[in-house]
Amino acid sequence: MSSGKVTLLSAGPGDVDLLTLRAARVLACADVVLLDDLANPEIATLAPSARVLRVGKRGGCRSTPQAFIERLMVRYARRGLHVVRVKGGDALMFGRAGEELAALRDAGIATAIVNGVSSAFAAANALGISLTHRAHCQGVTFVTAHLQDHREPDWSALAATRTTLAIYMGMSRLDALCAALGDALGPHTPGAVVQHAGGANERSVVARLDRLADAAHAAGLGSPAIILVGPAIAEARNASARPEATLARAA
């Protein structure tokens, strides 16, 4: 096994102060940092001795191929270096960590993982709600709107779980998503879109499903954003004041 290693590090949803202390310690001793496009670029200041490479992956944009990222990690680790792969949110939540861990293990590279705050939790914080409010639901389901084969998730089956739905990577399908969930849950079911959850530019809209897509479009919201759906969203700040509420991050 190579003397080098790779750490998959969770950058959190935005602000650098949402990094864990462990993440800061790992960055301080990194030799190479592979920085995800969704991670705050200020994170690089915590790795003063590292070579920093941007390896962005954004839906609908020019992205660094996943296979190339994996080759970079293996190449530098085999040189005996400590490679830190910085991922937005939590590294284990829809960040292709499974593919990267498999590639590293196949190559005989030592690996470590630093957990962090996922964007769904930052989105809940933005709205001032609990994703698992026991008066409204029995849990939370994390789901991506983009399956590997490009099919739509089974929204009816997800609606039947009676959980709050935290939907990642769904903005390009927001209209169809809201229509499908509205059919399954009812058009009056509350939902929210939170853009840049946990970051300085955080903005959100809260509306019932039959109005959520229009409200998000009118507010100019886009990716990266988390979509939250379910009765627990009714607890959001100001949500009951009017059918659509636009919330900005508190200073």
Nearest alpha-carbon partner for 66 in 37, 34, 94, 99? 99
For 214, the 3-state DSSP assignment is helix
CA of 11: how far to CAs of 19, 90, 196, in Å? 6, 7, 13
Catalytic residues: 36, 57, 169
- CA torsion 110-115-116-120 (nearest 10°) is 110
Determine which helix (DSSP H) or strand (DSSP E) holds 73, and give its type and residue range: helix 66-78
Nearest alpha-carbon partner for 197 in 14, 6, 4, 68? 14
Contact, 191 vs 174, CB < 8 A? Answer: no
Phi-psi region of 38 (alpha: psi -120 to 50; beta: other; left: phi over 0): alpha
- Give the span between the Cα atoms of 243 and 215, in whole angstroms: 10
What is the separation of C-alpha 33 from the centre of its chain, rounded to a whole number of angstroms?
A: 20
